[in-house]
Amino acid sequence: MLLSVIGNVLAIAAFIVSHGHSHTDLRWYLVNLAAADLIMAVFCMPFTFTFTMLGDWVFSAPMCPVVLFFQMVSVIASVCTSVAIGVDRFWVVFYPLRSRITTSRASVVIGSIWIAAAALSSVQLAVGRSTSYVIVEELQVCWIYCMPQDATVRLQLCRPRATAC
C-alpha cells in the first residue's frame, strides 16, 4: 500500500510539474488515472486487507458504506479514464488531421468522469451495511445489503456427509 501511495504521488507530481508540451494533453488523463489509483490505495487496500486477514469488520459501522463508495468511485474513475485515453488514441489514429483533445476538453471529460463515478457509486451509501453474524463466534461483516427490512437471512451449513443443504 505504501509503495502504491508513493508511486502515484510521484506520478502525479511528475505529470503536473513536467514542462514538455505536446499536441495533446494526455498527461491530464494520466494524472486522473494516478489519482483514481491513489484513492484505491487509500480507501481499498487497508480496509480490504484488514477484513481479509482478520475475517471480521473491525471498523465502525458507518465506515462500511463509505469504504464501499470510495472503492467503487476509484474503480469507475479508473476504467472511464482508460476508456477516455483509448478514445483519444482512436481519434489520433483514424482522424490524424482533426483537432485533438485540448486542456479545456480534457477538463470537461475528467470532470464528467468523476461526476458519473460519484453518481453511480452513491448507491453504495444506501445499501452498504456492517452486520454481525453468529456462526461459531460473533463476526462483523461489511457487505452490500439488498434485501427488504423484514426479510430474514438464514445461513445453512452442510454436514460433511449430507447430499444437500
**pLDDT one-digit tens code per residue, 90-123:** 988 888 887 777 777 888 999 999 999 999 999 8
Distance, C-alpha 2 to centroid of its chain: 17
Alpha carbons 80 and 117: distance in angstroms, whole number? 9
pTM above 0.95, yes or no: no
In which residue are the cell numbers 495533446 written? 24
For residues 96 and 24, is the Cβ–Cβ distance under 8 A? Answer: no
Gap between the Cα atoms of 4 and 12, Å rounded? 12
* Orientation of helix 26-43 relative to helix 103-121, angle to 10°: 30
Distance set, CA 105 to CA 88, 99, 109, 159 (Å):
11, 11, 6, 60
CATH number, domain 2-144: 1.20.1070.10
Please write the tens of the pLDDT for every residue from 55-92: 777 888 888 888 889 999 999 999 999 999 999 889 88
For residues 67 and 155, give the distance between their C-alpha atoms in angstroms, rounded to a whole number.
Answer: 25
Sorted by where each begins, the domain ranges of the chain are 2-144
pLDDT tier for residue 27 given thresholds of 50, 70 and 90:
confident
Distance CA 28, CA 19 (A): 13
The answer to whether residues 109 and 84 touch, using CB atoms and an 8 Å cutoff, is yes
